[in-house]
Chain A
Amino acid sequence: MTPALQGLVTIFIGVGGCIAYFYFSNQFLDRVLFPARGVNAGRNINRANMIRPWLFLAPALIALGLYLAYPVFATLWYSVTDRSQNDAFVGLANYQQMMSEPKFWEAMRNNMLWLIIVPAASTCFGLLAAQLTDRLSWGAFAKSLIFMPMAISFVGAAVIFKLVYDTRPIGTNQIGVLNAIWLQFDGGIGSVLMLRAVPVLLLGGVSAVLLYSLWVILRGFFEQKLRIDLKSLLRVLWCAFAIYAVTVCAQLGWGALCGDYPYGQPQTWLTIPGWNSIFLMIVLIWIQTGFAMVILSAALRGIPEETIEAAIVDGANPFQVFFKIKMPQISGTIVVVWTTITLVVLKVFDIVFAMTNGQWETQVLANYMFDKLFRANDWGVGSASAMVIMLLVSPILIWNVNNARKEMR
């Protein structure tokens, strides 16, 4: 039997089977088990209605339990056992082994970078695109073009960007856009402007924003009495992050200002440690911006017109309207977009697998795990790294569940 025919048969059996199951189980309940007639008709109807929801839910619950809930516990169990010792309990040995591997720490470091850069950049670009296209006559068309990468597989996107990053030997025509642009720079005034002044200005701007937030928070601390609660903890964490980010910006800015650029030499972009991770992130940003744009665009549309009108009447300029009126009203949606993209980032596998396979210091957790599972065949360490991903996801999981429960009340 050919797979295509098998597929058709499966659709038929699957769909037909499901419908038959639902139909006959309902019939059985109403006609045989608790018939709605005779002396006990009333009681039987009540009983049937108590059981019926579970008939409707049963296939879904079985599938969810088997394919999502059970694996969480099974993976937890595998991460503390050793397959080569007949599944003996080994405690945290797998985790210890994982922690001792430099590749794991490389993956963790890269994942953290991905977690900061990709959601931030996608949300920013998405917000920018949503705001710019908001009142445009051809906005819907522009949006659908920016949204298009969502339909492209990570692997397809990897091929697309491999062409962008392609390198040909020196002296021949470059067919990758990035190298073609790069070779236009020759160390002249244009290069100084584009490669030194612009990055320094950008980094300076980012640092200024970070320092300003730091200043606001610190002033808040001095003016109020110190309280120890979740909010101030988050603020302290943000301060630490901001200081770190500013030092990174300063280093990068210094590098951009004084570093030597290899002008005139085609670069193999995906093998430059540090930068290659950024080039991989660009692929995901390119895909996720459309998602952020669509959600944020709907949120912008949902803002009550009166608030904006009032601000304009009061003399606010477009920038003030955007930052002081619109942004606060869509902050909830921004958080949703941010967390959704964070989830995608935590599971990112295909892009790294297809483009560098974790070489040249581009490893990420999901690819590290795949490596351990299917190349090294080390299920213990593989499961341990899967648990690390689960651990990173769980704050979002708890937050989501809490929100859902609040909404239902």
Chain B
Amino acid sequence: MDNIAGSKSSLNWVVQISVVLLVALWLFPTVGLLVSSFRTTDQISGSGWWQAMFTQERNDTLRAADPDDEGVQQLIDGQYVISGNLFEDDAKAKISVWGTSSRAIDVYSPGEIAELKDGETITVSANGDYTQTSPVEMTGRGQRVFVTATSPPEFTFDNYKTVLTGGYSDGGMTKAFFNTLTVTIPATIIPIVIAAFAAYALAWMEFPGRALLIAVIVGLLVVPLQLALIPLLRLHLGIGIGKGYLGVWLAHTGFGLPLAIYLLRNYMVGLPRDIIENAKVDGATDFQIFTKIILPLSFPALASFAIFQFLWTWNDLLVAKVFLIDASGQTTVMTNQIVELLGTRGGNWEILSTAAFVSIAVPLLVFFMMQKYLVRGLLAGSVK
């Protein structure tokens, strides 16, 4: 509508460009995590992820093999020779310039021979191979070589392998992944069943106190769940559920119910009255009406809530920490695992970013597949 009368195409361009910028800004952090999860450790610490596609240059201090070690020196043609490769792991790095003193790190190009003290010489080729020669047997520590190396972009699936097989700690993310799944699925399905029946009663049955009950449920929608932590933990410990899956399922069910009832009731009230009354005239019981008519018709609302509850239980940290995770640590969920990684391996971005991405992959998948229902639920669920 803005662009009928008096429309300006320049304004249209401004709008297009600002949306592109806004989307880029919003996407940038997540893309950073995704890209980082595919880079090697050296690459991550060598340059920012936005430079992942470029060759990176870095200055390094490397050391030739220690002459005192057994079998390092070989006597060839009357000369003692040490040879090897300066890079231990980074096979793709290329040396552009090198030097043998920290004050002159760029005096030799690859293949040139550097004269050291006592007639020793060393030569380094571009791929890191070096040959050190000396007329007499060498002693002391390995020769230091200062290199300026460039390494090409490198991507790998190793991080995912490490994280999923638990190469960094016991059990790893795979266990946490299945634990999270174990928490999530019952905690999504059970509240739907309970709430659907209650919503039907609140929408289509006449009884005293109905309006009051609906008001109470709207009130409970906003009760902070922080309030429930201590009393419920006490209750669970008191009746012997303790910390465990049963407790966390029950807690998620209780906390999810107000929204479930509210969403479903609002949807069911909008269903056509005729269908229900016709069914009643034909002799259907309330139970039959509910299972045969209301439930199939309410599918969009059920799907909306299911997505909400799924995202919420999958992403939850607090409820799991309070009701599920005990001292043994066997029942840890992914969010908790990541928080622990942040504490113990705050600098290991290859592990952290991969673990985080494993945990957000499933919600993202659900999000993009079921976005329609999520939006519909949001629109119905924000209390007007």
Contacts and interface: CB of A to CB of B under 8 A. Distances in A.
Contacts of B124: none
Contact of A163 (B33, B181, B182): B33
B55 interface: no
A404 B349 contact: no
Interface in A1-60: 3-4, 6-7, 10-11, 14-15, 18-19, 22-23, 26, 30, 49-50, 52-54, 56-57, 59-60
B201 A56 contact: yes
B302 interface: no
Interface stretch (A94-102, A106-114, A347-355): A347-355
A64 B49 contact: no
Contacts of A401: 215, 218-219
Contacts of B353: 159, 163
A205 B15 CA distance: 22
Interface in A351-409: 353-355, 366, 369-370, 373-374, 379, 382-383, 386-387, 389-390, 393, 396-397, 400-401, 403-405, 407-408
A273 interface: no
Contacts of B316: 153
Contact of A389 (B27, B197, B224): B224
Interface stretch (B84-92, B138-146, B165-173, B225-233): B225-233
Contacts of B74: none
Nearest to A158: B342
A66 B238 CA distance: 14
Most buried by B among A6, A60, A136, A383: A60
A173 B49 CA distance: 11
A67 B384 contact: no
Nearest to B307: A151
Interface string B184-217: 0110011001110110111001110011011111
Contact of A71 (B232, B245, B286): B232
B19 A7 contact: no
A18 B194 contact: yes
B179 A156 contact: no
Interface of A is mostly: helix
B342 A312 contact: no
Given A6-B182, A68-B223, A383-B230, A163 B286 contact: no
Contact of A400 (B6, B221, B367): B221
A406 to B, nearest CB: 10
Q: Which of B44, B235, B346 counts the most chain A CB atoms within 10 A?
A: B235
B230 A10 contact: no
B113 interface: no
Interface string B324-352: 00000001000100110010001001001
Contacts of A155: 315, 317, 335, 338-339, 356, 359
Contacts of A154: 315, 317
B224 A390 contact: yes
A158 B45 CA distance: 20
A209 interface: no
Contacts of B253: 63, 67
B227 A405 contact: no
A213 interface: no
A336 to B, nearest CB: 5
B384 A156 contact: no
Nearest to B193: A18
A65 B315 CA distance: 25
Interface in A154-195: 154-156, 158-164, 166, 168, 173-177, 180
Interface string B232-250: 1011000000000110011
Contacts of B335: 153, 155-156, 350
Interface residues of A, number: 124
A318 interface: yes
Interface residues of B, number: 122
B339 A354 contact: yes
A408 B383 contact: no
Contacts of B384: 332, 336, 403, 407
A149 B338 contact: no
Contacts of A229: none
A276 interface: no
B26 A75 contact: no
Interface in A54-92: 54, 56-57, 59-61, 63-64, 66-72, 74-75, 78
A294 interface: yes
Interface stretch (A140-148, A220-228, A231-239, A256-264): A140-148
28 contacts: A4-B182, A15-B189, A18-B197, A49-B205, A57-B201, A60-B261, A64-B220, A128-B22, A145-B23, A145-B27, A149-B30, A152-B30, A156-B359, A161-B29, A162-B342, A163-B29, A168-B45, A340-B383, A349-B226, A354-B342, A383-B230, A389-B226, A390-B223, A400-B383, A401-B215, A404-B383, A405-B211, A407-B384
Given A336-B383, A404-B215, 17 more contacts: A4-B178, A15-B193, A30-B285, A60-B195, A63-B250, A68-B220, A136-B19, A144-B368, A173-B46, A177-B29, A295-B382, A343-B222, A349-B318, A350-B317, A353-B317, A353-B339, A405-B215
Interface of B: 1-6, 11, 15-16, 18-19, 22-23, 26-30, 32-33, 36, 44-50, 56, 58, 178-179, 181-182, 185-186, 189-190, 193-195, 197-198, 200-202, 205-207, 210-211, 213-232, 234-235, 245-246, 249-251, 253-255, 257-258, 261, 285-287, 290, 311, 314-318, 321-322, 331, 335, 338-339, 342, 346, 349, 352-353, 355-356, 359-360, 363-364, 366-368, 371, 374-375, 378-379, 382-384
4 tightest A-B CB contacts, nearest first: A67-B254, A153-B315, A74-B231, A60-B198
